[in-house]
Structure 1
């Protein structure tokens, strides 16, 4: 009797309830990892089309599984709520944390970056350890993976005021304008920060030091995917890593692979 050990056949045997319909993934405007296409001049029908390396990786997995997929860009809290409630099939970019693990099956980490501390030029501040942040006002995008990591680092530090903002773009604008005070700081993803500093022409900001390493993966809703179904998705992703597809995507965007 012949056997067909293909990913597609395994998927059909598992009979995932979502496989007959289009999968919906949600993400946020988080350049250079993900972003809205129209931010770079596209208009019309592509207004809400998602772009970026993580988008390309998800699209490659869907193509490998011969599965129709769409990717929508929302503010992070809306995207997260939809994915947690099972209104969307998957979400990215996702950091590995107890809270995210409860809501999602999370793939291996795909891209590595860093959380860094930024300040206004002229402050002469240099970051080397969490204690250096004592007595400071620190802006951070959140609630998010960044604010989660920052709160962990600040647990033993006294007299720190954290100011949550609605977007990284707004965060850097507020830091640049002095909204966090003369000695105010901001913590955000290093790649995102330099991308936005260049785009917004915020030349009066500088990086004072690295807070922590961070890696991002893809989350599939536990309300939409069983463990077995998730393993099929992950197997497809592993195949694309092994054949170099994912590495080519990350190199093209000048990002560091996490695997």
Structure 2
């Protein structure tokens, strides 16, 4: 091979390597969305991000940390992004958000023996409701309680506990609480994980989109745009999102200009 051709080839390869980068993502145990199995981050969110990284031509790594530590590290710019994150105005001040990755819902689980239909706050009056907390989920339930008080209803009594070992779903199954407020997919996962029967999902309180978040202080907007353009391309493949999410009973998110504008998503 002529020397000049060889040098050009080496230069091209080095240029390609320089353009590719390693993206580090942080997550926390939030099954089924993100899980830690044998020390490895798993779950549908990990699969989606991995495919987006491939489309970008970059490699990506995942670290599963306790929730507080993960949020502390991302706030300090010690990783590229964090997931799953819901969008809140205060978060949007500090983070860029990806396009939505999935649509999920939060609501009430009750015992299978509960016969009365739950169709609104009035059907929850005076119930003892378990919730994981302190967390955004428990904050959401506190807001629901406040709405009940404002509406002149008898408010729920909130039982807040940690839930990594299925404490709350077990308490519901044994009738030690009247209801369990949770992300629906998480509650159903916990029931299967801990072999809990005799519970059912009874009422949807709200829906929430989940995103990947990138710290504004340490992230170039060009990277967010590149990530989102790759994600839009991957997610547009026929049947792609359904194949990744349906087995977990998670819905594909709405993907239109109105949603992208609402959350000020760079794309």
Aligned to 1:160: 156
Decide which of 201, 215, 218 is 1:221's aligned counterpart: 215
Q: How far off its partner does 1:121 sit?
A: 3.8
Q: How far off its partner does 1:88 sit?
A: 2.6
2: CA distance, partners of 1:81 / 1:120: 37
Decide which of 182, 187, 197 is 1:193's aligned counterpart: 187
Q: How far off its partner does 1:188 sit?
A: 0.8
Structure 1 218/139 Cα, relative in aligned 2: closer, same or farther at 3 Å?
Answer: same
Does the CA contact (< 8 Å) of 1:141 and 1:147 recur in 2?
yes
Aligned to 1:212: 206
What residue ranges of structure 2 are gaps of 5+ in the alignment?
1-14, 150-154, 255-267
2: CA distance, partners of 1:87 / 1:161: 39
Aligned to 1:4: none
Structure 1 131/252 Cα, relative in aligned 2: closer, same or farther at 3 Å?
Answer: closer
1: CA distance, partners of 2:188 / 2:176: 20
Q: How far off its partner does 1:71 sit?
A: 0.8
2: CA distance, partners of 1:84 / 1:125: 45
Is the counterpart of residue 93 in structure 1 residue 80 in structure 2?
no
What residue ranges of structure 1 are gaps of 5+ in the alignment?
1-7, 13-18, 38-46
- Describe the superposition over 1:158-205 as per-residue Cα deviations: whole angstroms up to 9, x where unpaired: 33332333236333233334443xxx3111111221222122111122
- Describe the superposition over 1:127-183 as per-residue Cα deviations: whole angstroms up to 9, x where unpaired: 211233332222222343433433333332133332333236333233334443xxx
Aligned to 1:173: 170
2: CA distance, partners of 1:227 / 1:148: 31
Is the counterpart of residue 52 in structure 1 residue 47 in structure 2?
no
RMSD after superposition: 2.7
- Describe the superposition over 1:59-89 as per-residue Cα deviations: whole angstroms up to 9, x where unpaired: 1122222323211222323322322332332
Normalising by structure 1, we get a TM-score of: 0.77
Whose Rg is larger?
2
Is the counterpart of residue 241 in structure 1 residue 235 in structure 2?
yes
Aligned to 2:28: 28
Does the CA contact (< 8 Å) of 2:33 and 2:44 recur in 1?
yes
Normalising by structure 2, we get a TM-score of: 0.75
